[in-house]
Amino acid sequence: MFQKEHPNDAAFVTLRRIVLWILLFGAVGTGFELLLLEHTEGLWQLVPLILIAISFLTVAWHGMSRGTASMLALRATMALVGISGFIGIWLHYRGNVEFELEMYPGLSGFELFWEAMKGATPALAPGTMTLLGLLGLAYTYGLSTRKQSNESPAKQRELDMKAFKAFLFVSVAALSCGALLVVPVEAQVGRSQSLIDPNIATEQQLLALPHLNATAVKGIMERRPFLTMTQLNAVLSPSLNKQQLTELYGKMFVHINLNTATDEEILLIPGLGNRMLHEFKEYRPYRAMAQFRREIGKYVDDKELARLEQYVFVPINLNTATDTDILTIPGMGSRMLHEFKEYRPYRSIEQFRREIGKYVNDKEVARFERYVTLN
């Protein structure tokens, strides 16, 4: 059984109340800070906000019932809050590592660790959740779980467990709703099914593809980035026949812009004929990949739709795109995501080139530019 509180120990009771108020003020402050930082993109970013809300509910529940179920719920919630802090620290640190390696591939060891800890995303900030969780667990120490009831002990335990199960159901439902709210339905670059982008593929990845020898791979790497698929086709078509190109393009392709691609580009997609070319163009302008899925899904099954999707993209709006949208750009990592957002609002593409050109060379700026728009 849980320990009973000691009503005669005034100092103990006062101390626990102080801990409770610190916990509540800390939770409110943390919640508001997360909202002000727009920490709401993606399920992982919503988790701390959901847990803070559940924490208030469980504190209120236990304050009213003082039952075993509410105590279990309170302790379980505080434990989850604490664990979420450790997970957040890891996610922030991992994102910073990716950020640093994007810009400084040679970093390693302690130097990489230190730069990641000082990175654009404060690595230790989620530790606040761990502190809140520990405060919550400290508050429950010595807290009474006894409550006068006319029910028999067995019946009371049964009622308590039913209440606890109901709490678990509501908590899982809340997390599930959060997940549904942030499903990336507007991802702008089609989901890949192992299709390789020749603009960012490694030499080893290219050499593993059908019909590409060392000479062809060298030519690709020297000429990239390819801003259109027809540019890549012009490099490869002199040495490969139509069948070989079709086999190769089933493994490697430069994404085509659904709104501007020429007929020649679209017809380079393996297995795509004039009828589907007509359907691709009929629904222009495309605003999001969801529109492409909806319209083209009228003509092909889900499997074929998923195959076609990986060849195309809809440009993202530099000023309004979510993190999820931006991260669909091939080769985009946490660091460059930060830089994309740092210079908002963009007034012109020239501004984009100037600002992002501080971090990558002109070729990489051009590769990024093909995926973005201000319209």
Between residues 303 and 375, which one has the greater pLDDT?
303
Between residues 191 and 156, which one has the greater pLDDT?
191
- Asked if pLDDT for residue 71 goes beyond 80, the answer is no
- Asked if pLDDT for residue 303 goes beyond 60, the answer is yes
- Asked if pLDDT for residue 146 goes beyond 90, the answer is no
105 and 150 Cβ atoms separated by less than 8 Å: no
Reduced to 3 states, what is the DSSP secondary structure of residue 239? coil
Task: Give the range among 36-45, 59-68, 307-316 with minimum mean pLDDT.
Answer: 36-45
Highest-scoring range by mean pLDDT, 37-41, 162-166, 291-295, 307-311: 307-311
- Asked if pLDDT for residue 56 goes beyond 70, the answer is yes
From first CA to last CA, the distance across the chain in angstroms is 63
- Return the number of other C-beta atoms located less than 10 Å from residue 356's C-beta: 21
193 and 306 Cβ atoms separated by less than 8 Å: yes
For 237-282, where are the alpha helices, taking DSSP H only? 242-249, 263-266, 274-282
The structural domains of the chain, with segments of one domain joined by +, span 10-181, 203-373
- Return the number of other C-beta atoms located less than 10 Å from residue 213's C-beta: 9
pTM across the whole model:
0.54
Between residues 96 and 146, which one has the greater pLDDT?
96
**DSSP H or E stretch at residue 36:** helix 10-36
Q: Could you tell me the pLDDT band of residue 161, with boundaries at 50, 70 and 90?
A: low
Q: What is the dihedral of CA 314, 319, 324, 330, to 10 degrees?
A: 50
Task: Give the range among 12-21, 179-188, 276-285 with minimum mean pLDDT.
Answer: 179-188
Highest-scoring range by mean pLDDT, 12-21, 72-81, 132-141, 243-252: 243-252
Per the omega criterion (within 30 degrees of 0), is the bond before 198 cis? no
Please tell me the predicted confidence (pLDDT) of residue 3: 47
Please tell me the predicted confidence (pLDDT) of residue 125: 84
Mean pLDDT of the 107-128 span: 81
Give per-residue pLDDT as tens, 317-351.
999 998 988 999 998 988 899 999 999 999 999 99
Between residues 148 and 232, which one has the greater pLDDT?
232
What separation in angstroms does the CA of 38 have from each of 46, 291, 318, 326?
10, 27, 17, 16
- Asked if pLDDT for residue 172 goes beyond 90, the answer is no
Q: Could you tell me the pLDDT band of residue 104, with boundaries at 50, 70 and 90?
A: low
Q: How far apart are CA 190 and CA 330, in angstroms?
A: 10
Give per-residue pLDDT as tens, 199-230.
999 999 999 999 999 999 999 999 999 999 99
100 and 112 Cβ atoms separated by less than 8 Å: yes
Q: What does the buried/exposed string (b/e) look like for 161-199 if buried means 16 or more CB atoms within 10 Å of the residue's CB? A: eebbeebeeebeebbeebeeebebebbbbbebeebbbbb
Between residues 75 and 244, which one has the greater pLDDT?
244
User: Chain-wide mean pLDDT for the chain?
Assistant: 82
Q: What does the buried/exposed string (b/e) look like for 52-71 if buried means 16 or more CB atoms within 10 Å of the residue's CB? A: bebbebbbebbeebbbbbbb
Cα–Cα–Cα angle for 73, 77, 81, nearest 5°? 175
Mean pLDDT of the 286-303 span: 88
- Asked if pLDDT for residue 277 goes beyond 90, the answer is yes
Q: How far apart are CA 10 and CA 13, in angstroms?
A: 5
Q: Could you tell me the pLDDT band of residue 165, with boundaries at 50, 70 and 90?
A: low
pLDDT over 90, % of the chain: 40
